[in-house]
């Protein structure tokens, strides 16, 4: 018998795969069961409905590992970039993002916006910590910085159809003079 962690991981992996490849409407308990090979009854024992299944899978992606307290400023910025875009990149994909923008699946949109609020609070806490340590300017607006990172990521994908190698370092080079406290 598979461990609870492996079962939950299989459910989450299939949920995210279906979301990235087919959009939120492709994510049903039946589709996750078919993709993962995990029985519907097992899925329903862990998740009473689709919304809970989506929320669980997306929460795991949107919950970044905390930074070490002695992380230098440049690595803080790289961490922020990686985690600001990670929920799209590793989570919902651009199909899910488009569905959220168009409110194609209101249940999914509500779940994802709720998860984004929690993720943004975590990202904002990292910015606040960097400000408190003196590695980021104290006048940086947290929400605007996060939005600028995510917007740059979306623009890169829209412009070229992919996110090019070196994109993160180009973004670090652009933002570093703005956020860094010399």
Binned at pLDDT 50, 70 and 90, residue 91 comes out as: confident
- What was the pLDDT predicted at 1? 44
- 105-143 pLDDT, tens digit per residue, is 999 999 989 888 989 999 999 999 899 989 899 999 999
Binned at pLDDT 50, 70 and 90, residue 18 comes out as: very high
Taking only Cα atoms into account, the Rg of the chain, rounded to an integer number of angstroms, comes to 18
Binned at pLDDT 50, 70 and 90, residue 92 comes out as: confident
Q: Where are the domains of the chain?
A: 4-56, 62-179
- What was the pLDDT predicted at 143? 96
User: How much is the mean pLDDT over the chain?
Assistant: 90
Among 59-63, 124-128, 139-143, 152-156, the range scoring the smallest mean pLDDT is: 59-63
Domain 4-56 belongs in CATH node 3.40.50.300: no
pLDDT score of 12 more than 60: yes
pLDDT score of 160 more than 60: yes
Residue from 61, 72, 56 nearest 172 by CA: 72
- What was the pLDDT predicted at 2? 55
Token reading at 68: 């070490």
Residue from 46, 3, 1, 2 nearest 15 by CA: 46
- Topology at the third CATH level for domain 62-179: Tetracycline Repressor; domain 2 (1.10.357)
Cβ neighbour number for residue 83 with a 10 Å cutoff: 21
């Amino acid at each position: 018998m598979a461990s609870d962690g492996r079962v939950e991981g299989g459910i989450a992996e299939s949920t995210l795969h279906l979301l990235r490849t087919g959009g939120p409407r492709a994510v049903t308990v039946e589709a996750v069961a078919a993709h993962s090979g995990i029985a519907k009854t097992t899925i329903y024992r862990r998740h009473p409905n689709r919304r809970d299944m989506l929320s669980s899978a997306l929460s795991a992606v949107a919950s970044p590992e905390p930074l070490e307290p002695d992380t230098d400023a440049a690595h803080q910025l790289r961490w922020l970039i990686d985690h600001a875009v990670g929920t799209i990149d590793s989570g919902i994909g651009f199909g899910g993002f488009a569905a959220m923008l168009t409110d194609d699946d209101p249940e999914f949109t509500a779940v994802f916006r709720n998860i984004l609020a929690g993720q943004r609070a975590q990202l904002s806490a990292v910015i606040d910590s960097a400000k408190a340590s003196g590695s980021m300017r104290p006048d940086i607006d947290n929400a605007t910085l996060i939005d600028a990172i995510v917007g740059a990521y979306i623009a890169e994908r829209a412009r070229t159809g992919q996110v090019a190698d070196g994109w993160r370092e180009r973004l670090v080079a652009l933002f570093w003079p703005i956020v860094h406290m010399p």
